[in-house]
Amino acid sequence: MKEDINHCLKVLRQGGLILYPTDTVWGIGCDANNSKAIELIYQLKERVSSKALITLVGSEIMLERTVVDMPEIAWNLIDAANKPLTIIYDKVKNISQNAIADDGSCGIRLVQDPFCKELIQRFGKPIISTSANKSSQSTPKNFSEISNSILQGVDFVVNFRQNENQKHQSSNIIKLQNNGVIKIIR
């Protein structure tokens, strides 16, 4: 795991793309502050850039540094979640504009997975996480379902957890407005 994290850090710092296990499904990731790397993800996924990407943070402090006017209820939702929860916040900062929706909102998940948490904390800033598939294809539930075009389109593929057969699921997603209104997306 440590060797994979060290290699991921090198690639992220150079503006490259990684393929890595998350607290949900395998993800394509990059530095959330690097607009060129984010554009490479859109190209690899053949995804329209108007569709925002999810950002992962590795600590509560990092989450507070990323969300503008953090709604207090968000902490209750995170604590009560029984599976990974992505919250779409009204306004964020310290994330490249091309990872954010046109209305200024962005989906952010505070990870609990040990690999992701250590990777993000050592990187020191948020990273992008989007499912490891072309936009027209279904989300792979484990590493063995990831297409060759995705595997070959990234700069580094993490070895850790490749042999798991468990079928992983995407996170729950809710939109939390600063006025406290909650909308369930997935």
The domain spans of the chain are 2-184
Q: What is the DSSP letter of 147?
A: -
Local mean pLDDT, 10-residue blocks, the chain (186 residues): 96 98 95 98 92 94 96 94 95 95 94 96 97 93 95 97 86 88 88
Q: What are 60-110's pLDDT values in tens digits?
A: 999 999 999 999 999 999 999 999 999 999 999 999 999 999 999 999 999
Assess if CATH 3.40.50.2300 describes domain 2-184.
no
